[in-house]
């Protein structure tokens, strides 16, 4: 009798399993939702399958528009196959409008249009509360080379151009988002996931929040909002 393979890593929202070979991994999308560096946690029924479907759509859309990503294919409701990356421990955040930590740090009012958009880097480290870092930190501490930082900036801006337009077509404002990148075969690829867990989306008419801020702020209707966004993009969720 064959046993299920052991997990390589279990994070707050996903579990990583070995793929068919050493170059691939399986991402398993959990229903667990967390905020405030893991301090607030809950299970939200169906969130995992919605985010898996959402991420598959976005990663495929980005690939079709020339963005190099780790995505190979969706395997089933909760699992996707990806290329295994040597992750750069940095979150690349792009902001079109002020929200979240930018407002808290700089005293900017929520919703202010940011022209040009703001690009920030944060070290992925829950114990340190993901501190903001700059190019100089990345070079000195070896998180990423100058060339890698330039590629991360380039692809983050490109993703913003592509997805801001795509979400606008669906009546949504892409307020901000977080990306992670990693290395494989001498290339920098977009890794991790793109879902309403890692971006802010507002309804273009009502400005209603359609993303994880519903969870952070206890507004309710979290998965319902994710499903609404998915349907507006034409993503099947079998609901």
Position among 88, 133, 199, 230 found at the interface with ligand UDP (CB under 6 A):
199
196 binds ligand ADP (CB under 6 A): no
Q: Phi and psi at residue 37, in whole multiples of 5°?
A: 55, 40
Cβ 23 to ligand ADP, closest distance in Å? 10
191 binds ligand UDP (CB under 6 A): no
Q: Are the CB atoms for 188 and 181 separated by under 8 Å?
A: yes
Residues 7-36 within binding reach of ligand ADP (CB under 6 A): 11-14, 16, 25
The site map against ligand ADP for 46-85 (x = CB under 6 A) is ------------------------x-----------xxxx
Distance of CA 140 to the CA centre of its chain: 26
What region, left, alpha or beta, does residue 36 occupy, with left being phi > 0 and alpha being psi -120 to 50 degrees? left
Cβ 5 to ligand UDP, closest distance in Å? 27
Cβ 85 to ligand ADP, closest distance in Å? 4
Query: Smallest Cα–Cα separation from 85: which of 69, 101, 96?
Result: 69
Position among 24, 60, 63, 101 found at the interface with ligand UDP (CB under 6 A):
101
Which stretch, 13-21, 61-69, 147-155, 194-202, contacts ligand UDP (CB under 6 A)?
194-202
Residue 82 near which of ligand ADP, ligand UDP, none (CB within 5-8 Å, type-dependent): ligand ADP
Chain positions contacting ligand ADP, by CB under 6 A: 11-14, 16, 25, 70, 82-85, 87, 180, 182, 191-192
């Amino acid at each position: 009798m064959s046993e299920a393979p052991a997990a390589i890593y279990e994070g707050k929202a996903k579990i990583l399993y070995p793929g068919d070979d050493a170059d691939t991994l399986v991402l398993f999308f959990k229903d667990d939702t967390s905020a405030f560096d893991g301090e607030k946690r809950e299970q939200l029924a169906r969130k995992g399958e919605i985010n898996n479907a959402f991420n598959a759509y976005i990663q495929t859309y980005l690939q079709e528009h020339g963005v190099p990503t780790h995505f190979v294919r969706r395997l089933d409701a909760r699992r996707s196959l990806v290329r295994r990356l040597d992750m750069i421990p940095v979150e690349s955040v792009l902001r079109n409008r002020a929200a979240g930590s930018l407002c808290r740090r700089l005293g900017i009012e929520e919703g202010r249009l940011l022209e040009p958009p703001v690009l920030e880097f944060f070290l992925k480290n829950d114990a340190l509360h993901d501190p903001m870092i700059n190019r100089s930190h990345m070079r000195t501490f070896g998180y990423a080379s100058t060339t890698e930082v330039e590629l991360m900036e380039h692809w983050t801006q490109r993703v913003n151009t592509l997805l801001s337009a795509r979400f606008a077509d669906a009546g949504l404002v892409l307020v901000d988002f977080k990306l992670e990148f990693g290395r494989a075969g001498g290339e920098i690829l977009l890794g991790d996931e793109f879902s309403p867990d890692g971006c802010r989306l507002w309804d273009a008419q009502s400005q209603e929040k359609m993303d994880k801020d519903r969870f952070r702020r206890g507004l309710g209707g979290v998965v319902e909002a994710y499903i609404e966004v998915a349907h507006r993009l034409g993503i099947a969720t079998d609901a």
